[in-house]
Amino acid sequence: MAHVLLIEDDDLIRCALTRALERLGHRVVGAGSGTEGLTEALKGGIDIIVLDLGLPDIDGIQVLKMLRASLSIPVVIATARDEETQTVTALHLGADDYVIKPFSVEHLDARMTAVLRRTQPDPLRPPLRVGDLMVDLNAHTASLGSRLLELRPKEFALLAYLVERSGRMISKAELRAEVWHNAFGVTDKTVDVHLSWLRRRLGESAVNPRYLHTVRGVGVKLQAPSAA
């Protein structure tokens, strides 16, 4: 059961889908335009967004860009068969999946469930620990020893991604795609800047690394100091 925001300008499709999703136990908020959809999304409390790409006021791709600028709610694109280029663009911009019109509500439900399973933190999952570093994905907190780290949202996302994959070398391309959800619109420089901020938060430097080890031209690896 999820709280779904359905952005679709076709009244018939929107009403039929709303009823069908509600029958499956979801709560649905409908929006008939991009503007209305953005307004609803920003009100909060939405688990997943189903976004039609062909909207009358703002192009669906633009709506996705605006959503991604401030929110990390999963987005499933509803697209027409001849919109492949736009679908690819949407996936590069951070859409989580897509369905091709016409689709059945069962198909949409299956895609939404898979996306939510992939993106929602498991409430029973214990905090991640690497050395004295602890990241709690549910509470959205990170600490080093007894010190709570004050991190901006992107710094937290970056740290969480690296901690989850500790001991593994991660390329900047992977970070751009998985942490920024944008493999092409974000440069390696942006990643470098965030890594240096993160280093400062952890009280270390590139010259004297403890947890964050970068290899020029390859990527970055997070590991406990003793294993370094």
Half-sphere exposure of 116 (CA within 13 A, CB side): 16
Binding mask 165-204 for Ca ion (x = CB under 5 A): ----------------------------------------
1 token code pair: 């059961």
Sole binder of Ca ion in the list 40, 47, 52, 83 (CB under 5 A): 52
59 or 132: whose CB is closer to Ca ion? Answer: 59
State which of positions 71-90 bind Ca ion (CB under 5 A).
none
Compare residues 9 and 40 and give the one whose CB is closer to Ca ion: 9
> Least Å distance between CB 141 and Ca ion?
41
Match 């198909």 to its residue by tokens. Answer: 107
Q: What angle do CA 129, 96, 91 make, to 5 degrees?
A: 120
Binding-residue total with Ca ion (CB under 5 A) = 3
x-or-dash string of contact with Ca ion, 12-51, rule CB under 5 A? ----------------------------------------
Angle between helices 84-92 and 60-70 (to 10 degrees): 10
- Give per-residue burial for 105-143: e unless 16+ CB within 10 Å, then b: beebbebbeebeeeeeeeeeeeebebbebbbbbeeeebe
9 binds Ca ion (CB under 5 A): yes
Q: State the minimum distance, in angstroms, from the CB of residue 62 to Ca ion.
A: 14
- From start to end of the chain, where are the E strands? 3-7, 27-31, 48-52, 75-79, 97-100, 128-130, 133-136, 141-144, 147-148, 212-215, 219-222
Q: How would you class 198 by CB atoms within 10 Å of its CB: exposed for 0-12, middle for 13-18, buried for 19 or more?
A: buried
Cβ proximity to Ca ion, 35 vs 141, nearer residue: 35
For Ca ion, the closer CB: 4 or 134: 4
For the CB of residue 8, give the shortest distance to Ca ion in the complex, in Å.
6
Of the pair 54, 185, the CB lying nearest Ca ion is at 54
| Residues lying near Ca ion in the complex (CB under 5 A) | 9, 52, 54
